[in-house]
Structure 1
Amino acid sequence: MAQADKTLARAGAALLGVAGALIWAVARTTWVDVEYVDDLSGAGTAAVRGADWSTEAVAVAVLLIAGMAAGFALRRVGRRVVGAIAALASAGVAVPAAQLLVRGADTERAHAILTAGAEQSGAGTAGSGSGSGADTIAQWAEITSATVVPLGPALTLAGAAIGLVGGLLLVFRPAADSPRQNKYEKESVRREKVRSDLEQDPQSGRVLWDAISADIDPTDPAGR
C-alpha cells in the first residue's frame, strides 16, 4: 500500500510537469484567426495567440512545472498543498479555453488584443507588432470575422485535465515521508526523543549511545 501511494504521488508530480509543458507550448500557437478591414491599408488577416487570449495560461504552465519539482522534493503536507494549488490552477486555465470553444471568439476582445501596443509601436498593419511577436492592427481597423482555431483550446483543456488529475493525486495520495528525511529533523526534536528514550529504557546501550551523541548526560537527561 505504501509503495502504491509512493508510485501514485510520483505519477501525480510527473503529470503536473507534463501538463505545464503542454499548456506552455500550446499558448504559443494561434487560437483565433482574424480578418479585418483598414481604411488605409485595406483588408488583412491577423492571428491571436493563446497566451494573448488566455493571459493566465503561461503563468499556470510555469506554476505546474514548479509544482512538479515541489511534488518530488516536499514532504507529505507540502505535497498536498502543492497538489491543491495545482488542481485549482488547472481548473482555472480550462475556463477561457472552454468558453472559446463553446461561445466562439468575441470580435471586440480580439480587436482589443490586436490593437494593444499598436500606438506605441506605430503599427498600422498586422504583423508589425511591438516586439513581442504578436500581430497588431490599427486602432481604426474593423474586424469582419474572428474564427476559432480549435486545436489550441482543445489541447489546453487536455493539459488542464492532466494537471487536475496530477494535483488530485498529490492531495489524496501524497504517500508517507521517506524515513531518510528524519535526518532533517530539528536538533531540539531529536534531543527530546533521546530524553524520552532514556526515561523509558535508561539501561539500553543504544539509548545511552544516542544520548552521548546528542550531548546529553545519561544520568541527568533533563539537564538539571
Structure 2
Amino acid sequence: MIRVAQLLLMLAAAGLWASSRLTWVQVESFDGLGQPETADLNGATWSTALIPLALLLAAAAVAALAVRGWPLRLLAVLVAAASAGMGYLAISLWVVADVGVRASRLAEAPVADLLGTERHYGGAVVTLLAAVASLLGAVLLMRSAAGRRGDTTRYSRRRAPEPSEPAAALSERMIWDALDEGRDPTDPDNKGR
C-alpha cells in the first residue's frame, strides 16, 4: 500500500511541476506607443506555491519509506492539507471573477494599458488532478499506518510454548534443537525429547 501511495505522490509532484510550466493567464496590453504586447503567465508565476508543493510531495514520498506509526499518520495529514491547498489554487482560477488586476501586476503592465486577459484552464486541471492523486496517496498512507499497527499487535501476542506442551506446540527453535541432537520432535513417544 505504501508503494502505491508513493507512486501517487510522485505522479502528483510531476503534475504540479508540469502545471507550473503551463500558461494559466494570458495578458494583452497596449501602452499607446508601439504594438500591443502579449504576456503569458505560467503556473509558477500565477501560483507561486506550485513548485514548493511539488517538492513537498516528492519529499513525502521518500519519507514514507522511513517513518512508521504516528509519524506516518502525521505525514498523511500533511499531504492531505497540501492537497487541499492544491485544490484551492486550481479552483481559484475558475472562481475569481476578474483576474485582470492581478494579471496586470504580475505581467508588470499598468491596469490602464490592459486590453484584456484570457484564462487557460489546462494547468488548473492538471493541478486539480494532482490534488486528487495526493489526497488518495494520503488516504493510503493513513490506512498503511493503521494496518501496520495491527500487524505488530498480532505478532506481539504470540507466546512461547511451555515445556510441558505437546510436540505440535513446540517452537521452531526447539524443533531445530531436537533435530540437532538426533531426536525426532514429531514422534509422540519421546515428545520431542
Q: TM-score, normalised by structure 2?
A: 0.71
Q: Structure 1 residues 105, 70: CA separation in 2 closer, same or farther (over 3 Å shift)? A: farther
Task: Give unmatched runs, 5+ long, in structure 2.
Answer: 153-172, 174-193
Which of the pair has more CA radius of gyration?
A: 2
Aligned residue identity for 1:58: I
Query: What is the Cα deviation at residue 169 of structure 1?
Result: 1.6
Q: Equivalent residue for 1:110?
A: 103
Query: What is the Cα deviation at residue 105 of structure 1?
Result: 5.2
Query: What is the Cα deviation at residue 38 of structure 1?
Result: 1.5
Query: What is the Cα deviation at residue 104 of structure 1?
Result: 5.4
Q: Equivalent residue for 1:153?
A: 124
* Secondary structure at 1:147 match in 2: strand
CA distance in 2 between counterparts of 1:140 and 1:81 reads 44
Is the Cα contact below 8 Å between 2:5 and 2:141 reproduced in 1? yes
Q: Equivalent residue for 2:30?
A: 37
* Aligned length in residues: 154
Q: TM-score, normalised by structure 1?
A: 0.62
Question: What do you get for the CA RMSD once the two structures are aligned?
Answer: 2.6
Q: Equivalent residue for 1:166?
A: 137
Q: Equivalent residue for 1:93?
A: 86
Q: Structure 1 residues 34, 140: CA separation in 2 closer, same or farther (over 3 Å shift)? A: closer
Task: Give unmatched runs, 5+ long, in structure 1.
Answer: 1-7, 116-136, 180-205, 207-224
Is the Cα contact below 8 Å between 1:39 and 1:141 reproduced in 2? no
After superposition, give the CA deviation of every residue in 1:81-119 in whole Å (9 maximum; x if it has no partner). Answer: 11110110111122121121233551000011111xxxx
Percent same amino acid at aligned positions? 33
Is the Cα contact below 8 Å between 1:105 and 1:147 reproduced in 2? no
What does residue range 1-224 of structure 1 map to in structure 2 within 5 Å?
8-103=1-96, 106-115=99-108, 137=109, 139=110, 142-174=113-145, 175-176=147-148
After superposition, give the CA deviation of every residue in 1:182-222 in whole Å (9 maximum; x if it has no partner). Answer: xxxxxxxxxxxxxxxxxxxxxxxx9xxxxxxxxxxxxxxxx
CA distance in 2 between counterparts of 1:108 and 1:19 reads 30
CA distance in 1 between counterparts of 2:94 and 2:69 reads 38
Query: What is the Cα deviation at residue 141 of structure 1?
Result: 6.2
Is the Cα contact below 8 Å between 2:91 and 2:124 reproduced in 1? yes
